[in-house]
Structure 1
């Protein structure tokens, strides 16, 4: 819709029609085909400025001209302030970074304002804009896209080292420090783990000795399993999650979830592991001294399958550090980022984390930054 433009004479006649000829503003606006609010604004302007009102030909009254100038100056000062706030970190990184900032925000503020605020020349900016991009810039753009893809595939949990291994597997040739630099530049930051050193104290179990003795490595699958359970809060109450991990590949071979902390929960996790791994022989099973693991049904299950029992010292989480590490990853990378309304929602999410991310995809530093399933597949081919 084209904006209507009125001449100075038209405005004056319209004002006189109301102020001198006694026609109401509402009637005059209808007769002239203009909005009553516009006509009243003209009348107020005529009363305030007298003969100097409606200068015409784009001219303004002295007061209007001063007001426009002041508004322009305020806008420029605000833009310079915002430029300095957003571009403060660029001042130590050279003209190229500042020119990039100007190019990115030229749709927000005038180029001249940003160049003045950052202390660079407009001619230099336009020369930089017309200059062909460097090979490094093009390479960084391509790597940044691959880094973003890896970071998002991990549900924003991967740090630079795991992303780097993803890139190497995809055929990119780059160093770890390059990935770290580009992740900082693009603000890709993994969620940090909450680390609090536990107290290293406790007494020996009366059920079984600590046969594992913190030897968290195995030369082959189904030699050493570690087990424990944790709890996840939902709006319906606690959901308890039990898991069994094979120390050879750090794969979760058995798991179970329940709304009650019973021995049946850990029994179900162990039965799943036995079923999945084909009734392994000469197996060591390590857990803490919880009543679920010392219960008669659980101990009988291990005896029936010829499994050697090993237990941590009471109150000592270091003796089962591999299991604690898994639960820490589960909560940091998935659970603490969610709010579960029901236990079913939590079950679905834990299942998704274990079976669709942790086992088949998540890179584990202990096994050469491979996923547990990939590590086992390569070991079988070797």
Structure 2
């Protein structure tokens, strides 16, 4: 039996599923198909080592231990730098303002780090937290509640000026700048116009012929994989999601997410698929001719594992990506038909999950995509192409047949 292997990214997402999102160990074990003992070991490793968890196989050498310590020190120094970037202007203001900054960012940096960087005491901060609130704070809370109600009534489309007029009509007395300040604190932003997807300036070249030729059926697992990536908008900017699908069961066998559109992202998705599927033989991998897939690292990975490369023909490849990312529907686009299985998955992801959410951070989007793939799409979602079974159920029945 081939030993299953998991990427560092997969382990981190699985740990956060349990530690931060309230999913029980038993439920996560069932959803992900991983023994609870393994999950507990991952959780303990993450608690012990934090960001440095899951460095690889084997014990750490003294040099690696030293490197880990240095990385922790660098992490703290970077945090102090970022604290000064965001809160340095507060150094000339009173302690109350700095304490407010510490309270607001407790979920970002440790309180001790922020207090040391800003030159205030931790005991003073905790004393400030227990003091009775001022009249202005109580007034801000009342206005914030009214602002939130107005913002939600508008389906999150109103900016400060329209919200301010709502408040005036409701009998509140306040200025426009006050509304702007409170909306900024609550991260309420008017819905922007549709954004243009990021441009791919990479060099394209014809690497491989279209071996797949729209034959989206496979007689068994690990015969034909298709791959592509898409974009998800967050308040921090674009999050790129790369995926690899097995055409036999339509199961997502590999994925990766990044804040940059790089060849490393699609390479990581393929590496995850290879690990999870036990390094399959006689495999066809199909993608478009994007610069990420024609890159030297990605092509070398295919060659090293004996994977046959297939690519959609050039011609409106990027125009198709623009159509897809902007949410338009163009069934006549030829390149869409070239990788219809991937487009079906991305359409399901966005329709059933992404477009119903507003992501303030890339972290939130990553967690939601992970949840959709590993806890819904693969184990649960019924797929019309495979007789309305879930991909995992379809594979399990095929193995028993």
Task: Indicate the structure (1 or 2) with the bigger Cα radius of gyration.
Answer: 1
TM-score scaled by length of structure 1: 0.46
TM-score scaled by length of structure 2: 0.44
Which of structures 1 and 2 has the larger relative contact order (alpha carbons within 8 angstroms, sep 6+)? 2
